[in-house]
């Protein structure tokens, strides 16, 4: 059975190794691959996270070329594909950041004063997608998922995009039947 030893997405890579020798080999292979595709492999941006028997160990790592990768400490986090991680994904921080980003994007769209159809499309592309990728990774509770649309409806009312006494269900109904076609997150 083949084991996964790396996760690659565009210019982000996360390497996994059981031993120092394996890590050395994977790093050499990654440098070669990066050089072949004319991408710079910046060892100065790399850090190591050593976990032995479930506990974090502070160990710097030296490569074959005597480059040193600094060890992450207990409080350090790194961002991989937009998710803040350390030993585990930082769910509370991620939820707060995603909620703020969602509301800020909604607010910036509402400030543009575009017509309804274009504003709806902008919302779908910018706001919905900012949170959708987190479902299944970040652990959202039903109360938190209900809280985001409530804050969003408050913003929509403030910017005169939705009447306070209008049916909240209208926001998720398709435009063809007089709705706004926003994604229901609950």
The answer to whether the CB of 102 falls within 8 A of the CB of 131 is: yes
DSSP assignment of 90-129: -HHHHHHHHHHHHHHHHHHHHHTT--HHHHHHHHIIIIIH
Residue environment code for 27-56, b if the CB has 16+ CB neighbours within 10 A, otherwise e:
beebbeeeeeeeeeeeeeebebbbeeeeeb
Residue 24 binned pLDDT confidence (cut-offs 50, 70, 90): confident
**Among 9-13, 66-70, 89-93, 141-145, the least confident range:** 9-13
Whole-prediction pTM: 0.56
Q: How far apart are CA 14 and CA 119, in angstroms?
A: 37
Residue 76 binned pLDDT confidence (cut-offs 50, 70, 90): confident
Q: How far apart are CA 39 and CA 154, in angstroms?
A: 46
What Å distances lie between residue 157 and 37, 47, 102, 104, 171, CA to CA?
Answer: 50, 46, 16, 15, 12
Residue boundaries of the structural domains of the chain: 6-85, 91-177
- CA nearest 83: which of 70, 73, 98? 98
Q: Is 60 exceeded by the pLDDT of residue 186?
A: no
Q: How far apart are CA 90 and CA 88, in angstroms?
A: 6
- Judged by DSSP in three states, 147 sits in helix
Q: Is 70 exceeded by the pLDDT of residue 181?
A: no
* CA 13, 15, 21, 22 torsion-angle sign: negative
């Amino acid at each position: 059975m083949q084991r996964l030893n790396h996760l690659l997405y565009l210019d982000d890579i996360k390497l996994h190794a059981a031993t120092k020798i394996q890590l050395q080999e994977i790093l050499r292979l990654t440098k070669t691959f990066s050089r072949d595709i004319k991408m710079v492999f910046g060892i100065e941006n790399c850090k190591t996270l050593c976990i032995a028997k479930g506990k974090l160990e502070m160990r710097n790592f030296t490569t074959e070329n005597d480059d040193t990768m600094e060890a992450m400490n207990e409080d350090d986090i790194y961002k991989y594909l937009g998710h803040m991680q350390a030993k585990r994904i930082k769910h509370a921080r991620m939820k707060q950041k995603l909620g703020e980003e969602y509301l800020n994007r909604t607010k910036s769209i509402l400030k543009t004063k575009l017509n309804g159809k274009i504003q709806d499309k902008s919302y779908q592309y910018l706001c919905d997608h900012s949170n959708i990728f987190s479902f299944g990774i970040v652990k959202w509770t039903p109360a938190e998922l209900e809280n985001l649309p409530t804050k969003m409806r408050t913003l929509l009312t403030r910017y005169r995009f939705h009447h306070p006494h209008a049916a909240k269900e209208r926001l998720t109904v398709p435009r063809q039947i007089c709705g706004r076609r926003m994604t229901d997150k609950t």
